[in-house]
Amino acid sequence: AAAEAELRAAVADGQLVLAYQPVVSAVDGRCTAVEALVRWHHPVRGLLGPDEFLGLAEETGAVLELGEWVLRSACADAAGWDDGSTPVALHVNASPVQLAHPQFVDLVRAALAGTGLAADRLVVEVTETTVLDSPAVSATLDELVGLGVGVALDDFGTGYSALTTLRSLPIGIVKIDKSFVAGALTRTADAAVVEAIVQMAGRLGLATVAEGVESAEQEAFLRMAGITALQGFRYLRPAPVAEFGRWLAGNR
Would you tell me which residues interact with ligand G (CB under 6 A)? 21, 37-38, 49-51, 54, 70, 93-95, 154-155, 178, 211-214, 232-233, 238
Q: Within its chain, how far is the Cα of 188 from the centroid?
A: 27
- Choose from ligand G, Na ion, Mn ion, none: what does 128 bind? Cβ within 5-8 Å by kind: none
Q: Which is nearer to Na ion, 37 or 225 (CB)?
A: 37
Please, what is the end-to-end C-alpha distance for the chain in angstroms? 45
Binding mask 33-62 for Mn ion (x = CB under 5 A): ------------------------------
Please, are residues 217 and 238 in contact by the beta-carbon 8 Å criterion?
Answer: no
Closest separation between CB of residue 154 and Mn ion, Å?
4
CA 67, CA 197: separation in Å to the nearest integer? 30
- Choose from ligand G, Na ion, Mn ion, none: what does 214 bind? Cβ within 5-8 Å by kind: ligand G
- Choose from ligand G, Mn ion, Na ion, none: what does 22 bind? Cβ within 5-8 Å by kind: none
Contacting Na ion within 73-102 (CB under 5 A): 93
Q: Identify which range of 12-20, 22-30, 100-108, 154-162 contacts Mn ion by CB under 5 A.
A: 154-162
Q: Within its chain, how far is the Cα of 140 from the centroid?
A: 17
DSSP state of 240: E
**Binding to Na ion by residue 125, rule CB under 5 A?**
yes
Q: Which is nearer to ligand G, 93 or 140 (CB)?
A: 93
3 state DSSP class of 208: strand
Q: Torsions phi, psi of 225, nearest 5?
A: -75, -15
Q: Identify which range of 19-27, 35-43, 134-142, 155-163 contacts Mn ion by CB under 5 A.
A: 155-163
**Binding to Na ion by residue 177, rule CB under 5 A?**
no
Q: Which is nearer to ligand G, 54 or 198 (CB)?
A: 54
Amino acid identity for residue 160 in this structure: Y
CA 240, CA 66: separation in Å to the nearest integer? 18
Which positions ≥6 away from 113 have C-beta within 8 Å?
none
* Closest CA relative to residue 170, chosen from 193, 203, 137: 137
**Binding to Mn ion by residue 154, rule CB under 5 A?**
yes
The residues binding Na ion (CB under 5 A) are: 93, 125, 154
